[in-house]
Amino acid sequence: MRKFYFGPGFRVKLSSSNSDEFANSDKKDESRSFFQKKDPLVYLGIIILIIGLALLAYGFVPVRQANYQLLSQTVSVPLNQSQTFISADQAAQIAQPQFNGNASNVVCVSSSVGYTCYGQQFLGWEMVTSNSAKEYGGAMIVLGFASFYLGYRYEPLTIKKRELHSIRIRVDEDICIANAVCVNLAPKVFQLKKQTSPSLLAPLAYVVDPSGATNDEILIAAQMCPTGAIIIEDAETGERIHPPLPTS
């Protein structure tokens, strides 16, 4: 017995052994626990949350850092020394003695006059924490929570399961006019009977393989049949699905 969903995103299930499992899937969805939600946004949110927490924790870890004080004195070094251009590091070496031993570190930047060098006095080591890690970590935690909540609450990336039906398909040969509309729409499901001997009667349609197309395609083929010769019924209840029975 085949099981299927009507509507977009349906899937076909041919085995009848798991029909109860499928039929009850919606109920199971409702009773899923927090971490059993399947929406990718939930998992993405958890990953972002973990990274954000790690980043935030790293932001509170003290790191040893050299503490320098910038000297007010600056030294200008020409870009060109002995007919050759020098680099910023070479300019720093040239400028170092001019700070009279007050600068433990010299940094040079290019300027209109060549290099302008700044002296830095080493004051000692200090323990600092990373504010940027705290900020990025906090932002990622908020983002992770938002992603998790959206995925858990709304499941926007998950195709919702739809009501399941088991169906039976047949062709009413009394009203089939053999125009092959159903064959064109679902050729693996419907075919015209082959004639074994010359006949004036047109070859009628019949069901070759009820699982040869998606359920939506079968339903469309049935709806497009000009005479309503394709009959779809609920296999479990016998209830007519298509064409609808006339109301009295």
Residue among 54 and 177 whose Cβ is closer to ligand SF4? 177
Nearer to ligand SF4, 140 or 169 (CB): 169
Options 179, 220, 231, 243; binder of ligand SF4; rule CB under 6 A:
179
Binders of ligand SF4 in range 32-51 (CB under 6 A): none
Under DSSP, the state recorded for 225 is -
212 closest CA partner among 169, 162, 166: 169
The token pair that represents 86 in the structure block: 């020098």
Residue 180 in contact with ligand SF4, rule: CB under 6 A: yes
Gyration radius of the chain's alpha carbons: 39
Q: Hey, which residues does 70 pair with through a beta bridge? A: 120
Our CB check for ligand SF4 shows the closer of 117 and 219 to be: 219
CB of 214 to ligand SF4, least distance (A): 18
* Helix extents (H) in 155-187: 181-185
228 by DSSP, 3-state: which?
A: coil
d(CA 111, CA 206): 89
Pick 146 or 178: Cβ nearer ligand SF4: 178
Instruction: Give the number of residues written for the chain.
Output: 248
Among 229, 232, 235, 241, binds ligand SF4 (CB under 6 A): 229
Nearer to ligand SF4, 25 or 195 (CB): 195
User: How far is Cα 2 from Cα 232, in angstroms, rounded to an integer?
Assistant: 12
| Contact set for ligand SF4, span 114-173 (CB under 6 A) | 171
Q: Which pair of structure tokens corresponds to residue 104? A: 């433990």
Q: Which residues bind ligand SF4 (CB under 6 A)?
A: 171, 176-182, 190, 205, 225-227, 229-230
